[in-house]
Amino acid sequence: MAENAERIRYSVTIPLYNERESIAPLYGRLKAALEPLGRPWECVLVDDGSSDDSFAALQQIALSDPRIVAAGLKQNSGKSLALATAFSIARGEFIVTMDGDLQHDPADVPRFIEQLEAGYDIVGGRRSVRSEGPLQRLSTWFANRLLSTLTGIHLHDWGSGFKAYRRALVSDVPIYGELQRLIPLLALRRGAKVTEIPITTVPREHGVSKYGIIKKLPVFFDLLTVRFLSRYLARPLHFFGTAGLLGTTAGTMIGFWLLWERLVQGVHILGEHGPLLIFAAVLIVAGVQLLALGLLAEMHVRYYYESRSRSGPGDSVVIVRSERAKASGAAG
């Protein structure tokens, strides 16, 4: 069988937003890095609703090179959705994610692949030389330490977009919001071997940065979401039910004690323990509501996962491949 009909081994997935000037040099560097590997590869470049004709540039490359797949989102939806789209399109056994602003060097891709071939499931890029200011570095260090402490996964650089995964780990991982930073945590729910390799980032050659300190804040809310999902995704009633049961039990016990005080001791409850009586009533009502919320969440989660499989690219995504790429895909 010809090489172009072989199963694709490596997929490099790259989300882009207003990076038209970086696309041509990025393509050249990717070819230079991947062609010597000697195995079938592809690059999936997802334009996240750019306003600078980035998708037009991607189309030209995709139509001329069957190893390049261009996907265009019709509106800017964020890096997480762009990556989720790339994952749903990618066909390689190993998936490498990187940014399209030329701050990540494509020459490092073979080093990630080497670690995956050695048996690791997730390979993270650790930025050893950074072009950020002191305040940005401090915030990044604090965020990395906090994420490692809360998750129990000791990565030195959670924010690096330069990572590599085995396809089986991320092919159906739900990614939304700012969860692209927490893909290792989502993937590790299935068990995985993780390692890091040092990478060097360089200042931007073109365009402006889309990230800053403010952009990092939502990751902490997403971390709370992931912590909840990783423990209670399939059993939300265990979380809400436990809290509801504790509240109801505590409120009931306080209520019985107040009843004893009134009937046996003759204490005027509203006069002596009015706030406590109200607190007990609130605990009971809140506990019942949490139990009901847990039941509703349980029903919703079961219905969602039983009736819907992971969605692929839909009407909001335009995908461009050359005719040779389509033919090779059919042959494989």
The 10s digit of each residue's pLDDT in 226-267 is 666 666 666 778 888 888 999 999 999 999 999 998 888 888
Q: How many whole angstroms separate alpha carbon 159 and alpha carbon 239?
A: 29
Q: How many whole angstroms separate alpha carbon 27 and alpha carbon 50?
A: 18
Q: Is 319 inside any structural domain?
A: no
Q: Is 323 inside any structural domain?
A: no
207, 232, 257 — which closes off a domain?
A: 232
pTM: 0.65
pLDDT, tens only, 179-218: 666 677 666 666 678 888 988 777 666 555 555 555 555 5
Q: How many whole angstroms separate alpha carbon 330 and alpha carbon 311?
A: 22
Q: How many whole angstroms separate alpha carbon 184 and alpha carbon 153?
A: 9
Query: Are residue 86 and residue 210 in the same domain, yes or no?
Result: yes
Q: How many helices (H) and strands (E) does the chain have?
A: 12, 8
Question: 291 and 243 in contact (C-beta within 8 Å)?
Answer: no
Query: Are residue 138 and residue 227 in the same domain, yes or no?
Result: yes
| 94-97 vs 68-73, strand pairing mode | unpaired
Query: Are residue 103 and residue 242 in the same domain, yes or no?
Result: no
Q: How many whole angstroms separate alpha carbon 319 and alpha carbon 332?
A: 19
Q: Is 278 inside any structural domain?
A: yes
Q: Is 60 inside any structural domain?
A: yes
Q: Is 99 inside any structural domain?
A: yes
232, 247, 272 — which closes off a domain?
A: 232
Going through the chain in order, the beta strands assigned E by DSSP cover 10-16, 41-48, 68-73, 94-97, 122-129, 163-166, 194-200, 317-320
Q: Is 161 inside any structural domain?
A: yes
Question: 158 and 181 in contact (C-beta within 8 Å)?
Answer: yes
Helix (H) or strand (E) holding 89: helix 79-89
Query: Are residue 142 and residue 154 in the same domain, yes or no?
Result: yes
The number of distinct structural domains making up the chain is 2
Query: Are residue 273 and residue 193 in the same domain, yes or no?
Result: no
Query: Are residue 166 and residue 245 in the same domain, yes or no?
Result: no
Query: Are residue 115 and residue 31 in the same domain, yes or no?
Result: yes
217, 232, 247 — which closes off a domain?
A: 232
pLDDT at 305 over 60: no
Of 116, 104, 91, 101, the residue nearest 37 (C-alpha): 116
Query: Are residue 100 and residue 156 in the same domain, yes or no?
Result: yes
Question: 201 and 126 in contact (C-beta within 8 Å)?
Answer: no
Q: Nearest-5° angle of CA 43, CA 49, CA 54?
A: 60
Query: Are residue 261 and residue 215 in the same domain, yes or no?
Result: no
Query: Are residue 223 and residue 253 in the same domain, yes or no?
Result: no
Q: What is the DSSP string of 206-271?
A: SS-----HHHHTHHHHHHHHHHHHHHHTT-HHHHHHHHHHHHHHHHHHHHHHHHHHHHTS---HHH
Q: Is 320 inside any structural domain?
A: no
Query: Are residue 227 and residue 244 in the same domain, yes or no?
Result: no
pLDDT, tens only, 133-183: 677 667 777 777 777 776 667 777 777 889 998 888 776 666 655 566 667
CATH, residue 142: 3.90.550.10
pLDDT, tens only, 94-137: 999 998 888 888 999 999 999 999 988 889 888 776 556 677 66
CA dist 14 → 68, 156, 243 (Å): 11, 22, 42
Query: Are residue 300 and residue 193 in the same domain, yes or no?
Result: no
Q: Is 27 inside any structural domain?
A: yes
In which residue are the tokens 């964020």 written?
A: 78
pLDDT, tens only, 31-88: 999 999 989 999 999 998 888 889 999 999 999 999 999 999 988 878 878 888 888 8
The residues that bridge with 123 in the sheet, in sequence order, are: 164, 195
Furthest CA-CA distance within the chain:
93
- What Rg do the C-alpha atoms of the chain give, in angstroms? 26
| Range of the structural domain that residue 116 is part of | 3-232
